[in-house]
Each structure stands twice: as structure tokens, then as C-alpha cells.
Amino acid sequence: MNAVPANNVGQHLCAEAPVLLYPKCSVRVMAHHCRCSAPIPLSSLTERGDWSIPCAKTIPKDCSLICRQPFKAMKKRLVLIKPPEISRFNFGTFSLAVLAAAVRHIADVTLIDATSLTCDEAIKKVLDESPDIVGITVMSQESVKSACSFVSSLKTDTENTPAQPTIIAGGHGASMNPEPLLAAGASAIVYGEGEKTLLQVIENGIVPGTKGIICYGNSGTIKGKPQQPVLPLDCLEKPARDLMPDPEGVFLLETSRGCPHSCKFCETTRFSGKRWRPFSPSRVVGEIRELVEEYGAWIIHLADDNFAADPERVLNICKELQKGPLPAIILASARADDLLAHPSLLKEMSDARIRRITVGIETLDPSAAKKAGKAISLDTYREVFRKMRAYDIFSIASFIVGLPGETPVARQKNIAFALFAAPDTAHFLPFLPLPGTPYAKGRTIGLPDPEDVRDSAVFNNTFRKHHTTVTRLKRAVGKGGIRGLFAEKVLQKSKEHIPYP
């Protein structure tokens, strides 16, 4: 609905009678955002407008409401939503809570986790909030297709409503592959980190050429310059966990952004930059203690791509954490060479309850690893997994099947190499060309090779059921401890057959 001029009588959505509106205030916004005085008779109004839209019966027909002038103090209504999709683990609502904390001082924010909802159910939840702006997180390349479907449906359902919200999308998937989302109806894409750019959108709307924004303009798609990264990270507010749904036992925490490495298959540096930026140890320890004391967190998952990028920082964090209180377990991801950079690092991490670590190996073929920018030796991986076992840390190795440069001979050695490295369990994933990465050139974006998909399933089954893996896990179960609990769970799952595509 268009703005109602000053001193004109317009419709109030929550009343059967009209209401006096002030400049630039839309009827829908006024209905949700301003406080009204006591009802007064219609006869006392000096001007009347066109009352054509029916309203709810909440006050007598011979009365009206005069709203106090709200415009300058009024906050825009922002809905941040994780759209419907099949999602193994939901990082989306956490990233939205981080954004919400950065803008809630200038916007009335609602956070919706629609992961398990139908598209229609999700759209109804959005429209029930009568938003001015809808922000949609697209977590990965795999999320783009379902996000496009949601954007398209939301756009269609709001085209004929009095107030059409601005639809924006962001996150790793949107940043890497914005065009399908724009074509589906998104007003703009927020690429890269979103805190500063979202503030700009709330304050100024969609302005082509704005830093961090991709949108359509008169000359086609316009991509603004990259937004300056947040620095230092401690200036960010803590995530708005009060807006998040129940995390179902696992609390996410971000302790750093970016990566100092330049692996050719990874999009991390394309999203957050090559400069690795940490939260201070005191900030990290404070948030972990808050999660334990105020939220009763038992499991905390550190969302960093490489938690151990600065081993000295990790040592400081761990020594402070050891003073308590601690959760039952902390989950993390790190590179093998960083974990071995200090002789006592893994022991200190274990004493701080960091008892499950995922190590990205990608490939153990020396030639392919060097080409990918991650030339770490097989002996290094074997040593880091040995030390993790010694300190009761459950180890997960992540492999990519089909990296460019991988020869058929090297592929066939994947299982042998993985068994020699001896992680507690391993995940083999098909190579997925990601837009903007060097390895995406000449490949079909977002679609893995069917042979890579099949071999990944074969390798997963083979490794998990191999007698050396099973024996190692049974020994862990016998010793007890946290590693033993994880080993028992993996043994139970290993009895399930992973179907071949």
C-alpha cells in the first residue's frame, strides 16, 4: 500500500474504523508499530480519506484511532529465515542470530527456522510477521536450488499484497552463485560477510553499486565492491540466541573468520577473505562459559574452518577453559600441521574438553595435494591421529574424491592411505566445483561427477567396515571415555549399508 499523506484518514488493519496517519507511514506498518490513543468519535476528525479496505471489528464503528507520530522512532520489521531444505546439520539459524545481533538496534527482528517446514508453511510464517525486509540464508551451493524455489514462491505470494517486502539472500551459497536467486525474484544478494551490508540495506534500501550488494540495474547485474571485513571481531555483538529455536543439544560458536591458506577447492577465503581474524581468547572463553552457565550447554560446536590456525591462541583459550565450568564436549575442525605445531597443543585441547576434531585431509596423493595447495604428508596425518588417540580425542578425517589431478591409480589407493593414516572414522565426499574457486573452471557448477559420487559411497562403506577400523573402534569402546562413546556410535552406524548411487 502506498504511503498516506499527512492528516488523511486511512485504514488501520486492526480496527474497523479509520486512523489518522502521518507522513511516510504505510497502513500495514502503522498497524504493527505504533501505539494509539484512546478511541474518539469520527465526528471529531477534520479530514477523511477513502475507506475502501475492510478491517477487523475491534472497536465501535463510530470511533476512530489517532496514532501518535511514530516514523522517526519506528523500526523496520526484518524477518531472517533459514528456508526449507534437506539439511544434515543446521548452521543457518546460528549465522542468522549473528546477523540479528548486529542490526536489532535499528530493526525489529524475527528469526525463523523453516528447515523442516513445507514451502507454504514457511511463507505463512513470514507473512504473519508483515515484514518490510526478508533475509534468506543460503548455506551452501547445494542449498541454492531449494532457496530459489522459496524465493520464487515468496515473491509470487507477496506481489498482490498491500506491502511487498524487500527480499534479500546471503550466505555462502548466495555469494558463490547469486544469479539463480536474482532470477527467482530476490531484490538483491548480500555477498560475503553480511553485518555491515545488512545495516546499509535497512537504513538505505537496495542501492545498486553498494558495497557487498549484487542486484539488477539498468545495465544488467551490478556487483558492488566487496564490503570491508569486520575488524576486530570483538566489536560484534554476541549472537542473538534469544531469537533462535532450541539448538537440540548442540550449541554453535564462532571463534574466528577467514583462513591464512589458499586451497584451490575451498570457498572460505572467497567469502571471508584470506586474512584470518580471530575473536580474542577472553571473548571466546566468556561465550563458552555463558553457554554452559546460562544455557546449560553440554555440547558446543566450534564453527571455525580451522580453529587451530594460531596454536598459541588455542593454548591460551584452553588454559582458561580448564578453570571451568566446562561442557561435556567441544567439537572442532583443524588442519593436521597446525595441531602438531606445538608439542602440548593436543593435550591442552583434550583437558579443555575439545574431544572431537575433524581434520580435512582431502587427498593423500602427494601430486594432487600439492596442486590443491595442501601438501601435507601422510606421516603428518598418521602422527596427529596417533596423538589424538593418546589424549582421548575422537578423530574424523574428511576426504574429497575426484579432485583435479587425481589419477586412477591414486584413487584406488585412497582406502589404503586412509587406513594407514588411521583416523577413528572417515568421510569421503565427491568433489563439488564451487563458483569462484580455481577448480571450478571448465566444470559444471554445483554438480559432482556421478563416478565420484559412486566411489565416495564405496569408500565410505569400505573404510568403516574394514577390520582395522572396527578393531580400533572396539578398543576405544573398551577403554571408555568420550572417545569410546563416539566409537560406539560409529560402530552402530557402520552396520548400516550406505547405498551406492
CA–CA separation, 72 vs 66, rounded Å? 17
pLDDT at site 4: 37
Whether 13 and 150 map to the same domain: the answer is: no
Tell whether the model's pLDDT for residue 287 goes beyond 70: yes
Q: What is the pLDDT of residue 302?
A: 97
Asked if 457 and 499 count as a contact pair (C-beta separation under 8 A), the reply is yes
Residues spanned by the domain of 400: 247-494
Kindly tell me if the per-residue pLDDT of 7 is higher than 60. no
What would the grid cell of residue 159 be? Answer: 506481489
Which of 168, 191, 223 delimits the end of a domain? 223
Q: What is the per-residue pLDDT for 429?
A: 92
157 and 24 within one domain: no
Helix (H) or strand (E) holding 277: strand 277-278
For residues 246, 248, 254, 257, the Cα torsion angle rounded to the nearest 10 degrees is -100
Q: For strand 220-223 and strand 213-217, is the pairing parallel, antiparallel, or unpaired?
A: antiparallel
296: Cβ contacts below 8 Å, ≥ 6 apart: none
**How many residues would you count in the chain?**
501
Q: Checking DSSP bridges between strand 250-253 and strand 256-257, what pairing results, if any?
A: unpaired
Contact predicate 373/263, CB 8 Å: yes
Task: Classify residue 170: in a domain, yes or no.
Answer: yes
At 446 the pLDDT is 66
Residues 54, 85, single domain; the answer is: no
> What's the confidence (pLDDT) of residue 69?
37
Residue type, 382: R
Residue-wise pLDDT for 444-483, tens only, equals 666 788 999 999 999 999 999 999 999 999 999 999 999 9
CA dihedral 115, 120, 122, 128 (to 10 degrees): -170
Mean pLDDT in the chain? 83
* 410 found inside a domain: yes
| Domain assignment of residue 285, yes or no | yes
Pair (155, 60) in one structural domain: no
**Domain stops at, among 40, 66, 92:** 66
Give yes or no for a contact between 190 and 182, defined as CB atoms under 8 angstroms apart.
Answer: no
Residues 327 and 396 in one domain: yes
40 and 174 in a single domain? The answer is no
Mean per-residue pLDDT, 38-55: 35
For the four alpha carbons of 105, 108, 113 and 119, in that order, the dihedral sign comes to negative
Residue whose C-alpha cell reads 573402534 in the numeric block: 473
Does one domain contain both 13 and 95? no
Q: Do 344 and 424 fall within a single domain?
A: yes
Sign of CA dihedral 156, 157, 162, 166: negative
* Separation of alpha carbons 450 and 178, rounded Å: 25
Cβ within 8 Å of residue 15, ≥6 positions away: 55, 56, 58, 59, 64, 65
Same domain, 131 and 50: no
Q: Of the residues 66, 87, 111, which one is the last residue of a structural domain?
A: 66
Read off the pLDDT band of 365 (50, 70, 90): confident
d(CA 31, CA 301): 41
For residues 43 and 80, state if they share a domain.
no
Looking at the structure, do residues 165 and 296 belong to the same domain, yes or no?
no
CATH number for the domain that contains residue 136: 3.40.50.280
**51 pLDDT tier (thresholds 50, 70, 90):** very low
Give all strands of the β-sheet with 425-430 in edge-to-edge order: 250-253, 299-302, 329-334, 354-362, 394-401, 425-430
Tens of pLDDT, residue by residue over 306-324, are 999 999 999 999 999 999 9
% of the chain exceeding 90 in pLDDT:
62
The answer to the question of residue 239 being in a domain is no
In this structure, the answer to whether residues 322 and 344 fall within a common structural domain is: yes
What pLDDT, on a 0 to 100 scale, did the predictor assign at position 33?
A: 34
* pLDDT given for residue 443 in this prediction: 66
Confidence of residue 488 (pLDDT cuts 50, 70, 90): very high
Residue 229 lies in a domain: no
Confidence (pTM): 0.82
CB 243 within 8 A of CB 97: yes
- Residue 264 CA to residue 441 CA, distance in Å, equals 11
Residue 237 resides in a domain: no
Mean pLDDT (whole number) for 83-112: 88
- What's the total number of domains in the chain? 3
Q: Where are the beta strands (DSSP E) in 119-204?
A: 133-137, 166-170, 188-190
CATH number at residue 483: 3.20.20.70
| Per-residue pLDDT band at 415 (split at 50, 70, 90) | very high
- Which of the pair, 12 or 202, is modelled with greater confidence? 202
- Return the minimum-mean-pLDDT range out of 249-263, 392-406, 470-484: 249-263
| pLDDT per position as a tens digit, 419-453 | 999 999 999 999 888 777 767 676 666 678 899 99
